[in-house]
Amino acid sequence: MKLTIWTYEGPPHVGAMRVATGMENVHYVLHAPQGDTYADLLFTMIERRGQRPPVTYTTFQARDLGEDTAELFKTACRDAYERFKPDALIVGASCTAELIQDDPGGLSESMGLPVPVIPLELPSYQRKENFGTSETFFQIARALVRKVDRTPEISCNILGPTGLGFRHRDDVAELEKMLAEIGISVNAVAPMGSSPADIARLGAAHFNVLLYPECGEEAARWLEREHGQPYTKTVPIGVGATRDFLSELAEITGLACAPDESNLRAPWYAASVDSTYLTGKRVFIFGDATHAAAAARVARDEMGFEVVGLGCFNREFARPIRALARDYGVEALITDDYLEVEKAIEAAQPEMILGTQMERHIGKRLGIPCAVISAPVHVQDFPARYSPQVGWEGANVLFDTWVHPLVMGLEEHLLHMFRDDFEFNDAAGPSHHAGHAAQKEVAQSSGDNVIWLDDAERELRKVPFFVRGKARRNTEKFAAEQGIASISVDTLYEAKAHFAR
């Protein structure tokens, strides 16, 4: 454990809270000290939910540690049932309460409550939030799912969405629409939106759609093993992945799943001369494994970008991300330290970042546009409008979200061209992706100890931002080959002439 300003994932009890918050008629009793109640703010402030999470805290204090904290937990558990009358209780301990070893599972089992009580064993000092989400959903499914007959019509469950998930609400709506057009009914969406009664009937579906592996793969594997339900392996983010997802549905169900791409907005742009402006743009991608892998495919195969960095923060998915990175010719970055991510971005000198809220802040400091593709996110990435990531409409949203920061950068270039005019204030900087901080170049010197003189730096800033990175790299390469230690304006133009031949 270490002290940090930012973190990609909270402790695993936050993952359990995300599951409980997304569900109905479920209550979470959390053995925790007073300070651990901060997690409520994640849902009321960031996700802007209209009600508090269904969580009761024991909120023991320092003076309670010399007394019976186990009795505090039992009282909180009993009061929570009497007040909220849930159909099921889940119980567990926060990272702090884990140290006093009161065993909430054993205590609740001895109380004889008239509803199912599901104990959670979440190792707070070894695992993190996404593990907590996955393990909680798995334990709920294992405790509540019953053997039932299949539905007469072909149906599926959608597994993985939770509270505080990145665009989960809209992804589910888009996926339900797509499935309805094919003729597949949705038996249940879980855990988000489901009740214990819905969980009990998960076995009625013919198969499962695994939307977010980080949250639902453990439960999907168990349902396949115990209830004979196959699950989909493709997450339909992007045009190519959506086509593959439909092919997978056709294979599982035997239905005709012909893609209807009439609502896609991107093809007309791809056929225009303007689209060549995107070709070869260098992009650095970092987030949770599911969204990072999907973004890499869209970036290279659908946008024509060059992927110069790829990584994820959840180590449980390190192996597939490393294999994918090899296919893209880059070394995978597997870390939960945002400072390592910032260092890698500086070294790669991308023209765009696709990442989390953390990478958005990094992009601001480095003056690099960033589109958010993955949790953790802040309030602006829980839009009130409809904004899915999956399916055909999700592909439209990705197109807008990724292309606009680059296209709007042309405005930045015009401001740079006229920076010496009295109407413009160079210290203000671009407003669309770097706040009001002055633009800061990524580096003043290269790895080969080539130094940029001030006049050369000023001249380089006149180069349009979307080719400035390439101009910098070419000039540094030319200087290294020629044995030039300091890059002047003359060196810049000599390099330009050299590579224009």
Catalytic residue among 68, 79, 260, 274: 274
Structure tokens at 315: 């180590």
Four-CA torsion 124, 129, 131, 134, nearest 10 degrees:
130
| 3-state SS, residue 208 | strand
Structure tokens at 197: 């009664």
Question: Residues 232, 248: contact at Cβ < 8 Å?
Answer: yes
Alpha-carbon distance 26 to 30, whole Å? 13
Instruction: Please count the CA atoms within 13 angstroms of the CA of 54 that sit on its side-chain side.
Output: 24
Cis (ω within 30 of 0) for the bond into 405? no
Query: Identity (one letter) of the amino acid at 270?
Result: A
- Catalytic: 274? yes
DSSP one-letter string for 279-294: TT-EEEEEESHHHHHH
8-state DSSP, 161: -
Instruction: Please count the CA atoms within 13 angstroms of the CA of 318 that sit on its side-chain side.
Output: 8
| 3-state SS, residue 125 | coil
Kindly report each contact of residues 253-262 with a partner whose C-beta sits within 8 Å and lies 24 or more positions away, as own/partner.
253/154, 253/184, 253/206, 253/207, 255/154, 255/182, 255/183, 255/184, 256/182, 257/182, 260/181, 260/392, 261/392
The reply, when asked if residue 288 is annotated as ligand binding, is no
The dihedral sign for the CA sequence 94, 97, 99, 103: negative
Alpha-carbon distance 264 to 271, whole Å? 13
The reply, when asked if residue 42 is annotated as ligand binding, is no
Partner residues linked to 207 by β-bridges: 156
Listed in sequence order, the DSSP H helices in 371-451 are 391-417
Cβ neighbours of residue 49 under 8 Å, at least 6 residues apart?
21, 43, 163
Alpha-carbon distance 222 to 491, whole Å? 63
In 3D space, the residue among 157, 272, 263, 269 whose CA is nearest the CA of residue 211 turns out to be 157
The reply, when asked if residue 132 is annotated as ligand binding, is no
Cα angle: 304, vertex 494, 282; to 5 degrees: 15
Cα angle: 155, vertex 157, 161; to 5 degrees: 150
| 3-state SS, residue 405 | helix
What count of residues does the chain have? 501
Cα angle: 315, vertex 301, 275; to 5 degrees: 130
Binding residue ranges for substrate: 409-410
Catalytic residues: 274
Binding residue ranges for [4Fe-4S] cluster: 36
